Amino acid sequence: MELLHCPTISSYSPKFIHNSVTLLVNQSQCSTNWLKPSINSSKKRSSPVLVINAAGGGDGGVETATETVEKPTAKPRAFEVFDGYPLPFGATARDGGVNFSIVSGNATSATLCLISRNDLPEKRVTEQIFLDPLTNRTGDVWHVFLKGDFQDMLYGYKLDGKFSPEEGHYFDSSKILLDPYAKGVISREEFGVLEREDECWSPMAGLVPSDVDQFDWEGDLPLKFSQRDLIIYEMHVRGFTKHESSRVDSPGTYLGVIEKLDYLKELGINCIELMPCNEFNELEYYSYNSFLGDYKVNFWGYSTVNFFSPMKRYSSAGADAIKEFKTLVREAHKRGIEVIMDVVFNHTAEGNENGPIISFRGVDNSVFYMLAPKGEFYNYSGCGNTFNCNHPLVRQFILDCLRYWVTEIHVDGFRFDLASILTRSSSLWDASNAYGKLVEGDNMTTGTPLSTPPLIDLISNDPVLRGTKLIAEAWDCGGLYQVGNFPHWGLWSEWNGKYRDIVRQFIKGTNGFSGAFAECLCGSPNLYQEGGRKPWNSINFVCAHDGFTLADLVTYNNKNNLANGEDNKDGENHNNSWNCGQEGEFASISVKKLRTRQMRNFFLCLMVSQGVPMFYMGDEYGHTKGGNNNTYCHDNYINYFRWDKKEESSSDFLRFCCLMTKFRHECESLGLNDFPTAERLQWHGHAPGVPDWSEMSRFVAFTLTDSIKGELYVAFNASHLPVTITLPERPGYRWEPLVDTAKPAPFDFISSDLPEREIAIKQYSHFLDAKLYPMLSYSSIILLLSPDSTV
């Protein structure tokens, strides 16, 4: 996620100023000031009188009105109230009841609010329990244990204390707060649809757990694939099946993805990386987009409301999101597909001081957020606030959350959005606070990058998490770029942004990148070898959700983001793209052929590079977003996987991708556990053993010994001129063509089941007999060594 993915609210930060966006909803729309019981509650009670905060609204920002309503007494509920336990945090079913526990050291009072599902839409509190600071508080933990009828019951908290933003405190006893440790969140039912006029922030509450909640894992166990063997598919749960052409029973949901898992298996995918599936509010950017005539939403989801809860509106109507997410993980594992979650611990949906009080801000703002001395929010995320990741309580919260997803939901790993923020020092940083002892010369200020950040240390050495995949997006919006230098403990991988940039430059024919391109093919040893890491620590990608799709990368020189309604000012300006001679989708046949060739070149490069390949959903059939490189706000065809396009005859590229992933899986040498040496790999130029690393070189070739395939010859000609190359001599063997991206489908990949295979191979024979091979401009090839039957 980059700066322009997060157009929540502009904010002032002493370290970072973000002025490119504005608040899209007024404060009355953002209000969570909706539940106000008017009387104190004893431990056992019935029929409390309630004050209801009526829905404010409208563009005028009219003050909300209140009215006193006597709650009906038809179904009184009685709860037995006990002191409770400080641990574990959150709501926990145990001993025939539920224990509630929340941490807030700066709160002066706490009230547990119980809300029935019927009362939630009407903004009513069903029952409230005031916590006695003498009996219901241990240290900074407020707790209570209840027995009673919790059927269809939700919960939240009211916390009181200072409301002093300049001191970092936002306590407001009128707000009902979502528990940061809630394991399920209930709010609106339908994605992107307002339930009440102008109400972008509808009431939210946490699920009260039940000890009868069971899920049949059917013996599911972690797949524990070696990371070097992964082929990662980055995907969006809703976007994957929402288009009508998906023809699934539950489009846009976890169940919809399950219906398409067999397709991913056929594609050669053994790991899916899900874009954010934690609870978020897709309506936080809600505003009319006159360009498309619809409304902008937070489609990508990089703005978390609750980190423990799966996104409710990705489940089928009225269903249990937790069970459906577990079902997705279980069914993926059955097909040999691991599940990695994209998590956003760098900021939350509460924005800066103008944002809503939903959860963390009202629980203990000065703990959860990185603050300047006068209470201003540091904005290293570009989204208004920065999570205070290396504060002791916050890092414990993050660890608890990751453990939950691994132990309870069975996910296989995490990709950490803007992970460099996780390495920055917390507010009020001091070494004794972090490590238990002083460090001589320690004068860290808030946000300073740490060489051994406590959070990363904690995650890396956690006995539960050590077996999971840990992937860092090793940069943030405050200018901290750590690709190749992210603190790793030998475990962390990185989204290799340098691989993306170098490969794009070389394949489009930019001079001066042949040597750097060769490093990319070897797993970027220049970045990872010195630090003791391996090729699999590099997550290689050419395109991701952020930026151009693969088809747009070869179709547009310039971004075309007008559909976002921001006058094309948003999104990245430096894309290293090339339109192959004409801008846009309407182009000559020769330009379109070159574009298809370039797409094959990029995909082939991904599959033959050491490291872990990752590509974005839809790139395998050539999905286009019309040149839009920042589609965060579109819940429409722009972001939807087009199953109809995949089925069209023009999707010969899909066949190529399937064969290339299959080939990678078959080759022992394309997923090495260490960087290749001269014993296995040799570099070549137009002549064998004579590589050209000069500034003007646009040709890179290598041979690679493979214990299964024998030997591979791979070459890239990124020049605008064709070339005839001389192949290495291998007495008793001959080179046979497998892949040539310049050939039309199906001859771009001569698979074993190709009907005209023998004829296609014979067409090369007169060249291969002479140890030669002709390569067209902007093309790449793979040749295989086989015994020479003529000898």
Give 584's DSSP letter. S
CA distances from 66 to 77, 121, 123, 614, 616 (A): 25, 16, 11, 53, 49
CA-wise closest residue to 390 among 355, 359, 346: 346
Residue 723: what residue type? V
Residue 758 tokens, joined: 């023998």
pLDDT at 75: 56
Give the mean pLDDT of 650-667.
94
123 vs 62: CA distance, rounded Å: 18
Q: What is the pLDDT of residues 337-374, one digit of tens each?
A: 999 999 999 999 999 999 999 999 999 999 999 999 99
Place of tokens 């998490």: 465
Q: Which of 100-109, 421-430, 757-766 has the highest mean pLDDT?
A: 100-109
Strand 493-495 versus strand 469-472 pairing type: parallel
Q: In the annotation, is 473 catalytic? A: yes
Q: Is the pTM of this model over 0.95?
A: no
Place of tokens 């919790």: 150
pLDDT band, very low/low/confident/very high, at 648 (cuts 50, 70, 90): confident
313 vs 321: CA distance, rounded Å: 8
What is the CB-side half-sphere exposure of residue 600 using CA atoms within 13 A? 31
669 vs 150: CA distance, rounded Å: 57
CA-wise closest residue to 552 among 529, 568, 575, 534: 575
Give the mean pLDDT of 723-739.
96
CA-wise closest residue to 402 among 498, 467, 480, 315: 467
* Whether pLDDT at 309 is above 60: yes
193 vs 47: CA distance, rounded Å: 33
Give the mean pLDDT of 721-744.
96
Helices (runs of H) and strands (runs of E) counted in the chain: 17, 34
Cis amide prior to 755 (ω within 30 degrees): no
Q: What is the pLDDT of residues 266-280, one digit of tens each?
A: 999 999 999 999 999
pLDDT at 433: 54
Residue 582 tokens, joined: 């004409």
Work out whether the CA dihedral 524, 525, 530, 531 comes out positive or negative: positive
Annotate 575-597 with b (16+ C-beta within 10 A) or e (fewer): bbbbbbebeeeebeeebbebbbb
Q: Is 731 exposed, middle or buried (0-12, 13-18, 19+ CB in 10 A)?
A: exposed
DSSP per-residue string spanning 104-147: -TT-SEEEEEEEETTTTTTT--SEEEEEPTTTSEETTEEEEEEE
Q: In the annotation, is 417 catalytic? A: yes
Higher per-residue pLDDT: 319 or 156: 156
**Catalytic one among 234, 473, 619, 748?**
473
Give the mean pLDDT of 88-109.
97
pLDDT at 445: 79
Q: What is the pLDDT of residues 113-155, one digit of tens each?
A: 999 999 998 889 999 999 999 999 999 999 999 999 999 999 9
Residue 744 tokens, joined: 């039309």
Q: What is the pLDDT of residues 439-491, one digit of tens each?
A: 544 556 789 999 999 999 999 999 999 899 999 999 999 999 999 999 999 99
Strand 294-296 versus strand 163-164 pairing type: unpaired
CA-wise closest residue to 341 among 186, 468, 460: 468
Cα dihedral 362→363→369→373 (10° resolution): 70
Backbone angle region of 611, left / alpha / beta, with phi > 0 → left and psi within -120 to 50 → alpha: left
CA distances from 706 to 154, 178, 685 (A): 58, 55, 21
503 vs 586: CA distance, rounded Å: 26
Give 593's DSSP letter. H
650 vs 585: CA distance, rounded Å: 14
Beta strands in 265-418 (DSSP E): 271-274, 278-280, 287-289, 294-296, 304-310, 338-343, 413-416
Backbone angles phi, psi at 511, to 5 degrees: -65, 155
683 vs 543: CA distance, rounded Å: 27
pLDDT band, very low/low/confident/very high, at 650 (cuts 50, 70, 90): low
Annotate 742-773 with b (16+ C-beta within 10 A) or e (fewer): bbebbbbbbeeeeeeeeebeeebeebbeeeeb
Give the mean pLDDT of 422-437.
69
610 vs 506: CA distance, rounded Å: 17
Residues facing residue 326 across a β-bridge: none
* Whether the Cβ atoms of residue 115 and residue 125 lie closer than 8 Å to each other: yes
pLDDT at 435: 55
pLDDT at 702: 98
Among 84-88, 560-564, 707-711, 784-788, the least confident range: 784-788
pLDDT band, very low/low/confident/very high, at 376 (cuts 50, 70, 90): very high
* Whether pLDDT at 42 is above 80: no
pLDDT at 727: 98
Among 71-75, 765-769, 776-780, the least confident range: 71-75
181 vs 178: CA distance, rounded Å: 8
Q: What is the pLDDT of residues 495-532, one digit of tens each?
A: 999 999 999 999 999 999 999 999 999 999 999 999 89
pLDDT at 76: 59
pLDDT at 492: 98
Backbone angles phi, psi at 392, to 5 degrees: -50, -45
pLDDT at 291: 87
Instruction: Break the chain down into helix, strand, coil percent, rounded to 5.
Output: 25, 20, 55
Residue 697: what residue type? S
Place of tokens 């001269």: 678
* Whether pLDDT at 778 is above 80: yes
What is the CB-side half-sphere exposure of residue 655 using CA atoms within 13 A? 18
pLDDT at 74: 42
CA-wise closest residue to 671 among 389, 270, 295: 270
* Whether the Cβ atoms of residue 338 and residue 272 lie closer than 8 Å to each other: yes
**Catalytic one among 282, 364, 417, 652?**
417
* Whether pLDDT at 205 is above 50: yes
CA-wise closest residue to 285 among 384, 206, 174, 381: 384
Residues in Cβ contact with 168 at an 8 Å cutoff, skipping those fewer than 6 apart: 365, 366, 369, 371, 375, 427
Residues in Cβ contact with 548 at an 8 Å cutoff, skipping those fewer than 6 apart: 556, 559, 575, 577, 625, 627, 629
Give the mean pLDDT of 233-256.
98
Q: Is 338 exposed, middle or buried (0-12, 13-18, 19+ CB in 10 A)?
A: buried
Beta strands in 517-645 (DSSP E): 538-540, 612-616
* Whether the Cβ atoms of residue 313 and residue 188 lie closer than 8 Å to each other: yes
Neighbours of 393 (CB within 10 A): 17
* Whether pLDDT at 752 is above 60: yes
- Mean pLDDT for the chain? 89
pLDDT at 238: 98
Give 62's DSSP letter. P
pLDDT band, very low/low/confident/very high, at 429 (cuts 50, 70, 90): low
Q: How many residues does the chain have?
A: 791
pLDDT at 619: 98
